[in-house]
Amino acid sequence: MAILRENNRCTRRVKNNIFVAVSRLGLALGAGGLSLTMAGSASAATPTTLPAPSGQGGVIDEGPAPATAGVPASKLVALRTLNAQRNSPGSASSIQPAYSAGSLTLSVVVESQATSYYCVPASSRVTLSAFISSLPSQATLASQLGTTSSGTYMSNVPAVLNSYQSRNYYAFNSTSSLTDLRDRIQLDIQSYSAPLQNQVQMSLLPWYAGSLSGNHDIATYGYYYATKVSNAYVYDPWTDPRAGRETIYTSDLYDAGAPYSDNLVW
């Protein structure tokens, strides 16, 4: 897959920052692949199915949960170790220091979302394909996730993923910084062979260039980190010719999730 270069991106980043600032003031977001979010986690047996807010799209954001809520202690130790090694004396002072340089891509099975509001079931199916070969249908996952025509609460995702596998204990949290997102991507994929799921605003995804707007869920299944290059490999399940397997700057991926208090299943 071609390596993206982080050049001449000032104009797009300014536009993205303006959108993020507006979103954080509470202005309405547009419609698209829906992924409604509530902080915290729920069990697979009792998924959250509260009514959607009025209008199209939007996020139910009741304030951020702690950035490490529900994450096993052993995983937090591994994350701190990764961060300490990356910042140890002698590390290259680049966008992604030398310790983290490298690439890894997981083998996943992808499938476009079956309905306009199935982005979470579709992305969850992609995630599970890294763990099991006999995959549930999107409809089965939608039932377990409490999906309605209004969308899915991302806080329901970890319990469902954890009910199918035990290699990685998933949680739904915020990301405190771009470095934090990069470290979590590397840790999950490198140490647990586990994809992640990112809640994003569609208008901030580069392949849509602002032409679509809505709350969305995509799966991250690989990364490429090198000197002054930091990319993630993601799958966008939206039913659009521009969607599918994509390579995205991790900075763009971070910006796309920034409007939401909690935005990462990892």
- Residue 157 inside a domain? The answer is yes
- Residue 37 inside a domain? The answer is yes
Mean pLDDT of the chain: 77
- Residue 26 inside a domain? The answer is no
Per DSSP, the three-state class of 171 is coil
Q: What number is the average pLDDT over the span 71-95?
A: 71
- Residue 113 inside a domain? The answer is yes
Model confidence at 83, in pLDDT bands (50, 70, 90)?
A: confident
Q: The domain that contains 195 carries what CATH number?
A: 3.90.70.30
More confident residue, 65 or 36: 65
Specify the pLDDT at position 67.
Answer: 62
Tokens of 55: 């209008």
Residue 143 and residue 211: Cα distance in Å, rounded?
A: 31
- Residue 229 inside a domain? The answer is yes
- Residue 235 inside a domain? The answer is yes
Query: What is the extent of the structural domain holding 124?
Result: 32-50+58-265
Tokens of 119: 């982005």
> Interior CA angle at 141 toward 60 and 257, to 5°?
40
Note the pLDDT tens digit of each residue in 121-140: 999 999 999 999 999 999 99
Tokens of 44: 């697979």
Residue 45 and residue 43: Cα distance in Å, rounded?
A: 5
- Residue 41 inside a domain? The answer is yes
Number of domains forming the structure of the chain = 1
Per DSSP, the three-state class of 33 is coil
Residue 264 and residue 220: Cα distance in Å, rounded?
A: 10
Specify the pLDDT at position 64.
Answer: 57
- Residue 101 inside a domain? The answer is yes
